[in-house]
Amino acid sequence: MIISIDKDGNVTAEINGVKGSSCKDYTKLVEQIIEGQIINETLTSEYYEQEVKTDDRSHLSNNL
């Protein structure tokens, strides 16, 4: 996440490395931190890519 604040106090947030709509969770967090609202939003190609979900249990042995 790259957050920039210009001399007029306008905040720009760029979310990278997050596929799918879960990037919106990060933008909501930015809104909470700055106590403001998104005025303009540009979706990147990552937004339209499928999220990769992992199974946290994959490291467990089948011998349990």
Spell out the domain ranges in the chain. 2-45
5-29 pLDDT per residue, tens: 999 989 999 999 888 988 899 999 9
pTM over 0.75: no
| Nearest CA-CA partner of 23 in 6, 53, 47 | 47
30-49 pLDDT per residue, tens: 999 989 988 899 998 999 98
Q: How far from the centroid of its chain's Cα atoms is residue 30's Cα?
A: 10
Strand pairing partners for 55?
A: none
CA distance 33 to 31: 6
User: Which amino acid is present at 34?
Assistant: I
CA distance 42 to 35: 20
